Every structure is written in C-alpha cells, then in structure tokens.
C-alpha cells in the first residue's frame, strides 16, 4: 500500500436519539448522531402500522379478489379510439412517374 494516500480508519461512536449507542470503525472522522436506529424503528420493533389512506388498500384487495390475481387489461374506450384516429394522419400515397415510351 502506498503511504499517506489512505484516510485514517479509526473507532467512532454512533448514537441515536433513543439513547442507543455503539462503536464502529470508520473513515468518517467524527462521532455520528442518528435520528432513528434499528432499536427504535417501527419496522424492526414490530410496532409498524399500515395506514389505509382513503381505502386504497381495501380497494386494491377488492380488485385483486375479483380478478383472482390474474392480469386484466381493459379495452380502450370509444372516445379514446376516436381521439387516436384523429391524431393519426393518413400517409399520402406517392404518385408514380409516368414515362412515355413514344420515342421507340
């Protein structure tokens, strides 16, 4: 290894607002303060709650049960088809050049 090009690798203290703290080796340089850690995060503590905003989960479950887990594709509505047809411009046909063979 080359000398004087690598950062210092030292022992630092990581502490959380919940009071949990531990020591790790790092090149960061100073102590680290966290807002949330694995000791206080709801996912890791088992206190996580799923919030159903405006029944979105219940609507999903209802649709999922109706289709039995299969992918369902809806046909486009008539108005959408007409709109697409209006946007699509017909490609003009090229006229063939008529060459006369009168000289022969």
pLDDT score, position 90: 66
Per CATH, domain 10-84 is 4.10.80.400: yes
Comparing CA positions, the residue from 9, 41, 49, 50 lying closest to residue 28 is 9
Model pLDDT for residues 19-45, shown as the tens digit of each residue: 999 999 999 989 999 998 888 887 777
**Alpha-carbon span 15 to 4, nearest angstrom:** 30
Paired with 34 in beta bridges are 16
What is the H or E stretch that residue 71 is in? none
pTM across the whole model: 0.42
pLDDT score, position 69: 72
């Amino acid at each position: 290894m080359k000398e004087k090009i690598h950062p210092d690798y030292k022992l630092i203290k990581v502490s959380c607002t919940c009071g949990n703290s531990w020591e790790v080796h790092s090149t960061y340089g100073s102590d680290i303060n966290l807002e949330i850690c694995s000791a206080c995060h709801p996912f890791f503590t088992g206190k996580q709650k799923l919030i159903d905003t405006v029944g979105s989960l219940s609507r999903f479950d209802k649709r999922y049960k109706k289709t039995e887990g299969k992918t369902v594709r809806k046909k486009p509505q008539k108005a959408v088809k007409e709109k697409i047809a209006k946007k699509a411009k017909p490609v003009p046909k090229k006229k063939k050049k008529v060459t006369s063979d009168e000289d022969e």
